[in-house]
Amino acid sequence: MAHQKTPYQWSARGFVAPGVILVAVLLYLPLLWTVFLSFTKYNGLGSPTWIGLDNYVEIFTDGDFVGSALNTVLWVIGTLIIPVGIGLAIALLTWNLGGGIWLRLPFLIPYALSGIGVGVVWSFILSSGGALDQALAAFGITDPPRWLLDAPLNTIVMIIASSWQGVGVNALLFTIGLQAIPKEPLEAARIDGAGGPRLFTSILWPMLRPLTAVVVGLSIVASLKTFDIVWGMTKGGPGTVSETLALTMYKETFVNSDYGLGSAIAVFLTVITLIASVLYLRQQLSPKKEM
């Protein structure tokens, strides 16, 4: 038998309704519309034409799309190793250190910048004849690498530029995780003689696991949707060699006005991101794995 709704429940629904309506209209309807568009040919004018799975067939048979996907994988790996790794190192080195916040602050400031702004600044540094080339010339290096023109070097240097922006927030998150570790096991470990690498591998790293899971999860999601910094630095070029999936999606939708193909890439990217996030977080945060 259904529960009788209490006046409290009714009034609660009234207050929740605006939020639910907004989320449904601004989030789920566009999502469903995007899924629908992915099965159509549509240039943004008139009515979409249903073409079934053609867009999906096209993205999987297009060499450029495969290149975009490989670059995206490079971004996922790169942003796991560099900003997460350096962020952890900074958090560990400044943890329990007097004035540690002042040491972390400079790393945190770039996080306040927009990705496109970071892209523009770094393109001045890395473009041919730019700041880095001029600095290298001062040391007699007159034939430097072509940072943004050769693949996969251009993707690698853009990952480094992105890391410059992302290290600070990872350091901050790891610092919060370190500060949340209870003092007792640490003291016990120290009394038992554990220090340095042993303290890290046996105590700190396992106890940081829930936070590491979140940081890595966020990093994977952020790198899968990498767009702004690449758009700001190379526009995905030369040609298409530094495109990511998100950039290919943008290009097909808004440059080529192929809304159907762009939507198919968006759906593919969403599915991949959801699968990666759910699998990773379930594996990492399952109760059985907790300390």
Partner 1 sequence: MISRRTIAAAAAGLLLGTLALAGCAGDSGSGEAGEVTGTLNFYTDKAAWKPDFESLNEVSGDAVDITLKTTGYSDANQYDAFIKQSFRTDKSPGLFTWHTGDSLKQLVDEGLVAETTDIWSQAVDEGWVSEDLRDSYTFDGKQYCVPMNIAYWIMFYNKAAFADNGVEVPTTWDELNTAAETLKEGGVTPYYQTSVLFTFQWFQHLVASTDPDLYAGLTTGDVKYTDPEIVDIMNVWLDEQKAGWFSDAGSTTDPAVGLKQGDYAMINFGTFFAGNLEGAGMTTDDYGMFAIPAVNDSLDTTPVAVESGPICTAENSKQRDLGLAYAEWWMSPDAQTAWNDAHGDVAFNPKATVSDPALAEIGEQIAGDGYSLYDRFFEAMPTEIVTTAIEQFGAFNANPGDPMPFLEKIQATADKYWAEQE
CB of 257 to partner 1, least distance (A): 6
Compute how many residues bind partner 1; rule: CB under 8 A: 45
| Nearer of residues 129 and 182 to partner 1, judged by Cβ | 129
Rounded to 5 degrees, what angle do the CA atoms 92, 177, 221 make? 100
Interface stretch with partner 1, choices 6-14, 66-74, 264-272, 282-290 (CB under 8 A): 6-14
Nearer to partner 1, 43 or 179 (CB): 43
Residue 202 near residue 181 (C-beta atoms within 8 A): no
User: Hey, which residues between 195 and 254 contact partner 1 (CB under 8 A)?
Assistant: 234-241, 250-251, 254
Q: Shortest approach of partner 1 to residue 128 CB, angstroms?
A: 3
Q: How far is the CB of 164 from partner 1 (least distance, A)?
A: 19
Q: Verify binding: residue 257, partner 1, rule CB under 8 A.
A: yes
Footprint of partner 1 on residues 121-140 (CB under 8 A)? 123-124, 127-130
Of residues 91 and 161, the one with the C-beta less far from partner 1: 161
- Amino acid found at 274: L
Omega prior to 18 cis, within 30 of 0: no
Residue closer to partner 1 by CB (options 179, 257) is: 257
Cβ burial, residue 283 (10 Å; 0-12/13-18/19+): exposed
Binding test (CB under 8 A) with partner 1, winner from 96, 114, 134, 256? 256
Minimum CB separation from partner 1 for residue 56, in Å? Answer: 15
Unique residue bearing structure tokens 């999860």: 217
**What are 199's two structure tokens?**
């303290």
Handedness of CA 271, 276, 277, 279 (dihedral sign): positive
Residue closer to partner 1, measured from CB, 57 or 81: 57
Residue ranges in 32-71 that form contacts with partner 1 under rule CB under 8 A: 41, 43-46, 64
Among 1, 14, 138, 143, binds partner 1 (CB under 8 A): 14
Work out how close the CB of 147 gets to partner 1 at its nearest, in angstroms, rounded to a whole number.
Answer: 8
Nearest distance, CB of residue 54 and partner 1, angstroms = 10
In angstroms, what is the minimal distance from the CB of 49 to partner 1? 10
Nearer to partner 1, 74 or 121 (CB): 121
Going from the C-alpha of 151 to that of each of 71, 113, 234, 244, the distances in angstroms are 10, 26, 11, 13
**Which of 3, 7, 183, 197 touches partner 1 by CB under 8 A?**
7
Distance CA 76, CA 55 (A): 25
Name the nearest CA neighbour of 255 among 269, 268, 240, 242.
Answer: 240
Task: Name the site residues for partner 1 (rule: CB under 8 A).
Answer: 7, 10-11, 13-18, 21-22, 25-26, 41, 43-46, 64, 123-124, 127-130, 146-150, 234-241, 250-251, 254-258
